[in-house]
Structure formats: structure tokens, C-alpha cells
Homo-oligomer: A and B are copies of this chain.
Amino acid sequence: MGAESMQVKVDEFLPLRDVVFNTLRKAILTGELKPGERLMELHLANRLGVSRTPIREAIRKLELEGLVTMLPRRGAEVAQITEKSLKDVLEVRRALDALCAELACGRITEAEEAKLAAACEKFAQATKTKDATVIAMADVALHDIIVAATGNQRLVQLVNNLAEQMYRYRFEYIKDESQHERLIEEHRMIYESIVKKDRAAAAEAARIHIDNQEKSIMRQIQLDNRQDSIKR
């Protein structure tokens, strides 16, 4: 597990359980805590400088979120991420992102449309920096505007959760510069469909966007697997 990077910040007025939850969640999603790794309460408690209680409560939430699996009387371990489980997530996300685009057509405000246009432009600019972090943030910002425009809280929560499941791979494919032009074009397609209030086109554009993301991620996983076999 990554060294001191995992530290609780007491800065916040959040209960410790929430701090721990966020810390562990991020560690899992970024791959700092690897699938199959055991989460031992006392160990984590010492590491984060808190007692077992907030650790346990954080694990309960991670459990419900599916990021850890509980083994009876053995505690928690980081959930395995298989190709199948990623495909499952993407399949659901495709449907929900399409729904977001459709709903946005009917509900987006003019102010939000302007923000969306700006976000598209900002994303295009970001690709020029070649900085994966900057690009990823611009991408998230853009999608957040569309999702928020649906005005559906539950949908916002679900889409964000599903999107986060792929943070680990997302980075890899955003670094691939050959994809940047395509991404810009796909964003433009979604934006224009929404402005035109063309629900079918918006939904289809969103689906294509996810399709391509899926292809990138699956390519990435194939590479990872090959790496693994070499190591063994």
C-alpha cells in the first residue's frame, strides 16, 4: 500500500468516519489499495491515527458501495475488479449517460448552456497542455454540467458513482494524445444535440462517447493483463 500518502487531515469538521471513508475510497479508486488487499482494522487505525470505530463505520459504507467485499470473520478486502465487472458498469453507464443527455435537452437552462459551451472550449484548451490531470478535470467539469442539468438528484449520484469506478483506467486513456481530437469532437456532438434539443441525437452521442471510452479501457486492461503474465 502506498506509504504516507494516506493520512487523515483533521482540518475538516467532518466526523472521522467520513474522513476515513473518503481517504479509503480514494485510495481504492486510484489503485493505491489494490484489489484483494486486506483491510485490517487495527492496522488502518494505527496508520490513520484513529481508533477502530471510525474505520469500521467507513468500511460499512465502502461495503455497500461495492468497493470492498466482506468475508465472514475475516474482515474486508478491496473488491476485485474484473473485465466483466467493468463491462457491467459501462453498460449501465451508457444507459444513464444517454438518459442524462436526453433529459438535459428538455431541462437545461440558458445559463447552463453557456457554461457547457465554455466547458467544451476549456476541454479543447486543456488537451493542449498535455497534462492528464488538467484534461481529466476539464472532462469531469463538462460532464458534471450535463448531469446537473437533468435536475435529477438520484441520477447525479448514480452517474457519479459509476464514473468513479473507472478512475483508475480513465487516467490511462486520457493520456493517449491520439484520442484527444476524437474526444473534442464527441463533446461537440453532445453539446450541439442538446442545444438543438434533439433528444435522440444527444442520447446517441452520449452512447458513442461511452462506447469509445469502453474500447480504450478494454485495450488498457488487455495491456495490463499481458504485463501481469510477463511478470509471473
Q: Which of B61, B92, B153 contacts A155 (CB 8 A)?
A: B92
Q: How many residues of A contact B (CB 8 A)?
A: 30
Given contacts A61-B60, A91-B103, contact A85 B154 (CB under 8 A): yes
A221 to chain B, nearest CB (A): 17
Find chain B residues with CB under 8 A from A95 CB.
95-96, 98-99
Find chain B residues with CB under 8 A from A72 CB.
13, 15
Query: What is the CA–CA distance of A157 and B158 in the complex, to the nearest angstrom?
Result: 12
Query: What is the CA–CA distance of A154 and B67 in the complex, to the nearest angstrom?
Result: 12
A residues in contact (CB < 8 Å) with B: 13, 15, 17, 53, 56-58, 60-61, 63-66, 72, 85, 88-89, 91-92, 95-96, 98-99, 103, 152-155, 157-158
User: Taking chain A's interface residues, is the majority helix, strand, or loop, or is none over half, making it mixed?
Assistant: helix
Find chain B residues with CB under 8 A from A85 CB.
153-154
Query: What is the CA–CA distance of A53 and B157 in the complex, to the nearest angstrom?
Result: 28
A90 to chain B, nearest CB (A): 9
Find chain B residues with CB under 8 A from A103 CB.
91
A147 to chain B, nearest CB (A): 12
Query: What is the CA–CA distance of A121 and B232 in the complex, to the nearest angstrom?
Result: 54
Please state if A89 and B154 are interface contacts (CB–CB under 8 Å). Answer: yes
Find chain B residues with CB under 8 A from A99 CB.
91-92, 95
Given contacts A57-B60, A91-B103, A96-B92, contact A158 B158 (CB under 8 A): yes
